[in-house]
Chains A and B, each alone.
Chain A
Amino acid sequence: MSARTRFDDVRIAIAKGRILEQVIPRWRSAGLGWPLAPASRQLWFKGTREGPGGLIVRGPDVPVLVARGAADLGIVGADLLEEQGPIDVLEVADLDLAICRVVLAGVRPELPDGPFVVASKYRRITEGYLARRHFQADIVRLSGSLELAPLIGLAPYIIDIVETGETLRQHRLNEIEIVMRSHARLIANPAHWRSKPEVVAIRDRLVHHLA
């Protein structure tokens, strides 16, 4: 790709929250020009000659938008990709951002003995983990605030994502075992990856931080 490669025809879907916060400096250091003000609540910006357009969306929606071709690239946690299951996207880079882990945590700091109840927002990851470890468990599916589940007697264990573990400690929960490690992944729509050279060029800039 030449130095005059234009990026105005490229769109990247970015997961809101922790990933977005850490992507912005990377985006800037890659010379792609982040156009939104720090406190902006705008969820979309248009691509320019110097930088791609952006869609700021909920994490689980990123793979869907990329697979359907609404975005050329997407930035999303490996945990959400794993939870999504097979989908027609290419994982083209580990961006080494938003490093966290999905863990089994509980009131007591030891592995369960015998059948148990576990609360999680990750149905697929939890089922895979239970099968790998040959655990017998009932899964309570929640969409958030998992730390409350042991406190209110709903489930003595949870499987949730943590970065520092501070939220678990504040709720007097113990991290027992790592289920999976998660970094932000760059994913691509296969058709756009193979038909738009500038999509590959953006991948290289985001990975190597080169403007």
Chain B
Amino acid sequence: MRSWLREESEQIRQTSALIGDLAGLGFAPITTSPTRDSEVRRDHTLAIIERLASWSPSALDFPIKIFSSGPIFERGRWAESLDVEVLEDEALPSAALIFDLLSELISERSQLTRSDNLVFVVGHLGLLRDLLGQCGLSAAAAAAVETAFAHGYWARGEQMISGADAALLPLFRPSPVEFAEAALADSARRYPQLRWEAWQSELPRQLQPVPSLSWDLSLTGSWPYYSGPVFALYARGQGDALLKGGRFSVHYQDRDWHGVGFTISLPQWFERR
């Protein structure tokens, strides 16, 4: 029992340190309830937006840098997590903002090291939709591919685009950033409507100190509110992501809420320390 209590204490200590790091970077805590109206919390983002919406619009001071901690109910079990968000008023927030924050947290704050074999994988819903249009798919067929990827039916999604330009197909599986970037630049030359230059600035080419960065357009995020870049951080050999996130747009109580954020799975995050 003592070792179990020691582990629990260590996790609390580490969570407190992470919260201290976020506070030091200008993020404020917001509490959200893990259960409400017989529903369990499956996601912090919507719970945070519900709370923010309780203020009058004039009281909201953008950009709002905020975090919420506590368990979420995922895949039939509760999992401790910490959710970090930056909300903007009108304009879509820059993805670079969150990538910089991630770099800082990973390299300086959490002491995750290169020896952990970290892999950062990025997808982009805008680029995916653009590319599916170039594959000659109708809007309905493109939406079906996106839904297949979102629900884990990767083979079905791949089959639906199998008639497309073969050079595009590797972009729908994890590819090293150099390879994916070259393939996309080449595609942009052949398909002028592909707004590659617009998307390029939203896809990171490196994330210090993560040694391996891949792009994978089949990564679409697990929530329907994602609207642009989506990402996940993995540690080779660990069967769950250390963190997942992306840029989102949510319509709630007569207004649009735009932001970028990510959820850290605390057990996975601390297992790598």
Residues on A lying within 8 angstroms of B by beta carbon are 9, 67-70, 87-94, 185-186, 188-197, 200
Contact = CB atoms under 8 A, between A and B. Distances in A.
Nearest to A95: B155
B152 A200 contact: no
A88 B173 contact: no
Given A94-B155, A191-B240, A192-B239, A88 B174 contact: no
A192 B238 CA distance: 7
Interface of B: 75, 117, 119, 121, 152-156, 173-174, 212, 214, 216, 219, 232, 234-241
Contact of B174 (A67, A69, A89, A194): A194
Contact of B239 (A9, A69, A200): A69
A90 B119 contact: no
Q: Name, among A70, A94, A197, the residue most crowded by chain B CB atoms within 10 Å (CB to CB).
A: A197
22 contacts: A68-B239, A69-B238, A69-B239, A87-B75, A88-B75, A88-B152, A91-B152, A91-B154, A91-B156, A93-B155, A191-B238, A192-B239, A194-B174, A194-B214, A194-B216, A194-B234, A195-B117, A195-B174, A195-B212, A196-B236, A197-B174, A200-B174
Given A194-B121, A200-B174, A89 B234 contact: no
Contacts of A93: 155
Chain B residues touching A, majority SS: loop
A196 to B, nearest CB: 6
Contact of B173 (A9, A94, A192, A200): A200
Contact of B235 (A91, A185, A190, A195): A195
A193 B119 CA distance: 11
Contact of B152 (A69, A70, A89, A197): A89
B156 A70 contact: no
B77 to A, nearest CB: 11
A191 B239 contact: yes
Contacts of A68: 239
B219 A194 contact: yes
Nearest to A88: B75
